[in-house]
Structure 1
Amino acid sequence: MTQPIPAEWSPHRAMWVGWPSHEELWGEYFAQAQDEVEALVRALAGPGREQVRLMIGNEEALPGVRARLDGVAGIEIVAARFGDIWLRDTGPIFSAGSAVANAFGFNGWGGKYVYKHDDEVADWIADFSGVPATRHDFILEGGALDHDGEGTVLTTRQCLLNRNRNANWTQADAEAALAEAVGAKVVVWLGDGLLNDHTDGHVDNLARFVAPGVVACPIAFGPKDPNAEVYDETARLLSETTDAMGRKLKVLRIPSPGLVLDADERPIPASHMNFLVADGAIVVPTYGNDMAGRLAGEALATVFPDREIVLSPSNAVLTGGGSFHCISQQEPE
């Protein structure tokens, strides 16, 4: 039987992070996105924290990264190739002890964003890490799942059963595939993800395990939060669910960032749920609302009392469609 994927709060031997490397994808936000990722990796690589493997997507970006970060303790600059920085989705999902790197089919989030080299990232990371890759013959992005380390997996129907990934999948098909690939014993099916999320509702923007038997999900912040109903329905579903160990799930409600608009005044999927669990720290993305960010950090401190809560801006990274959890992938010890 396949062993469950470790919870993210388990110790890591390394943390992969993607560096904004292609100016044509970021436009006017390119420099700011690099600044935000630099702040992230410096927070991750503090004393007693992560060995960061900072993956650079093309040769043009290397001189600038080396000027910023060469010689910084705990940060290894890795020259490679990718289309964009979303390593949570294009990279492998490592098994316990990083014995196996699980690699999946990738089709650009249902064909919406297809870039050269993204379908090579999982094998490339596995090879660099010295971990044998196991290739699974279905399409899956890592951000579509969240794991408790005991065989309970969170996901959304909007994404995992979307016909633009695995066209003929039923719920039973998906559960069988996840049991074989990532050791899922219980799959918790949530409904829709955030409004205008081009990943079709990745769960790492909606609900995350924060302790055995405990799941965090947002509560609306401000009167115009466009996802208020989705948040409440998610909390209701979670509170009615039993995990793989037979526990009724407890729900920790964390303030959302509220209404965040893009340059065209459309709501975008800003989420404090895209926090990154690292050795020694929890890095929480913020989006310009200081009160919302502070309250989210205080809520997470109640379940991660042994880690520093780091609030770090992610406004420019968000313009690419995600945040800190989306651009990273851990190798468990």
Structure 2
Amino acid sequence: MSRPVPAEWAPHRAMWVGFPSHEDLWEDNLVPAQDEVEALARALAGPGGETVRLMTGSDAGEAEARRRLGGVDGIEIVPGRFGDVWLRDTGPIFRGPSAAVGFTFNGWGGKYDLPHDDEVATQIATHAGAALARSGAILEGGALDHDGEGTVLTTRQCLLNLNRNAGWTETSAEAVLARDLGARKVLWLGDGLQNDHTDGHVDNLARFAAPGFVLCPVAFGAGDPNGDVYDAAARALAGMTDAEGRRLKVVRIPSPGWVEVDGVGGAPASHMNFIIANQAVILPVYGEGLAGSLAAQGLAEAFPGREVIALSSNALLSGGGSFHCISQQEPA
């Protein structure tokens, strides 16, 4: 069997980040989203210990990225073309420093068909000098989380959705993940967050912090729209074992609770959409105060030796995602 995808906490050669570049998509949220990505890039390149490859999607986006971050140590501006910033889903999944897999991207089940998104995996792999193996499967990187030893977390809502690979079963999906990503065991959860246009990506629901150690949310405050989803995931995880036969340790982190974006409530805000950088963990927060502070404390205990940096992600959430969604690690 081929080597599994490295865990996100393994050393990185670089961290790819998408820079919001299209005013027609972001409208009034463009500048606030650029502000948030600038803060993220600076945190990754500074205390995060990363080389940041900041990918722009248009000439205007490149010019703005260079104005804000050109010349900053540890940040490389990479001109490119993409529909939007969600590199976790449109970019390749790296198997190592010189090998990556490019899956077919269909706009999260045909919801958003944007020009150049199907070219992102090739652009990133070429710039990284990695051989890109093409898979015929439709799959987004945010649908999976990896422990580095061949255990993969995912959700049935997304991976078995008829709007991706019609006819997929758990067995056929597992065969593709074993072939393309070295998966030895797949851990299946049910539904993801409400109002998530990705159809329940697992990187909003549950994340590995170490082999045998999984984080997932617990509802916080009145009106949390996903309390039942969180509880169902935690119960399922508590009964699972990983590819090495270890029973999972499950630690619950407070969710952001009820979050409104552009006047619409119940947005798919998640503290699980953090980035594990070489020397830090970057936590998205949404102006919720105590919940974000408690989540930061929980992550500090889960990732000893890494600084936890909480940064605003409200504007990015208006586009449907957060920090993990716009990033992709390139292993060392």
Instruction: State TM-score, norm by structure 2.
Output: 0.99
2:57 is matched with: 57
CA distance in 2, matches of 1:60, 1:54: 14
* Aligned-residue offset at 1:304: 0.9
The DSSP-based 3-state class of the residue aligned with 1:260 is coil
1:170-211 deviation digits (Å, cap 9, x = unpaired): 111000000001111110000000000000000000000001
CA distance in 2, matches of 1:85, 1:191: 27
2:164 is matched with: 165
* Aligned-residue offset at 1:247: 0.2
CA distance in 1, matches of 2:309, 2:261: 24
Paired-residue identity, %: 64
* Aligned-residue offset at 1:263: 2.6
Q: 1:2 to 1:313 in 2, by over 3 A?
A: same
Q: 1:233 to 1:126 in 2, by over 3 A?
A: same
The DSSP-based 3-state class of the residue aligned with 2:188 is strand
Q: 1:174 to 1:48 in 2, by over 3 A?
A: closer
1:233-248 equivalences in 2 (<5 Å)? 233-248=232-247
Tell me, yes or no, if structure 1 residue 315 matches structure 2 residue 286: no
Aligned residue identity for 2:94: F
* Aligned-residue offset at 1:10: 0.3
CA distance in 2, matches of 1:320, 1:161: 24
How many pairs are equivalent? 332
Whether the 8 Å CA contact 2:155–2:188 is kept in 1: the answer is: yes
The DSSP-based 3-state class of the residue aligned with 2:302 is coil
Q: 1:254 to 1:262 in 2, by over 3 A?
A: same
1:84 is matched with: 84
* Aligned-residue offset at 1:158: 0.1
Whether the 8 Å CA contact 2:282–2:308 is kept in 1: the answer is: yes
1:66-89 deviation digits (Å, cap 9, x = unpaired): 111111000000001000000000
CA distance in 2, matches of 1:141, 1:48: 25
Aligned residue identity for 2:64: G
1:225 is matched with: 224
Tell me, yes or no, if structure 1 residue 11 matches structure 2 residue 27: no
CA distance in 2, matches of 1:215, 1:186: 15
CA distance in 1, matches of 2:112, 2:47: 37
2:23 is matched with: 23
CA distance in 2, matches of 1:107, 1:298: 37
RMSD over aligned CA atoms reads 0.9
Aligned residue identity for 1:294: S
1:125 is matched with: 124
CA distance in 1, matches of 2:303, 2:200: 26
The DSSP-based 3-state class of the residue aligned with 2:324 is coil
Structure 2: 5+ residue stretches without partners = none
1:211 is matched with: 210
CA distance in 2, matches of 1:15, 1:114: 25
Structure 1: 5+ residue stretches without partners = none
The DSSP-based 3-state class of the residue aligned with 1:200 is coil
CA distance in 2, matches of 1:237, 1:256: 18
2:153 is matched with: 154
CA distance in 2, matches of 1:192, 1:325: 19
* Aligned-residue offset at 1:305: 1.4
Aligned residue identity for 1:42: R
The DSSP-based 3-state class of the residue aligned with 1:189 is strand
CA distance in 1, matches of 2:100, 2:194: 32
1:94 is matched with: 94
Aligned residue identity for 1:71: G
2:282 is matched with: 283
CA distance in 1, matches of 2:215, 2:185: 18
* Aligned-residue offset at 1:164: 0.2
CA distance in 1, matches of 2:144, 2:288: 27
Tell me, yes or no, if structure 1 residue 188 matches structure 2 residue 180: no
Instruction: State TM-score, norm by structure 1.
Output: 0.98
Aligned residue identity for 2:44: L
The DSSP-based 3-state class of the residue aligned with 1:312 is strand
* Aligned-residue offset at 1:102: 0.5
* Aligned-residue offset at 1:266: 3.1
Tell me, yes or no, if structure 1 residue 140 matches structure 2 residue 106: no
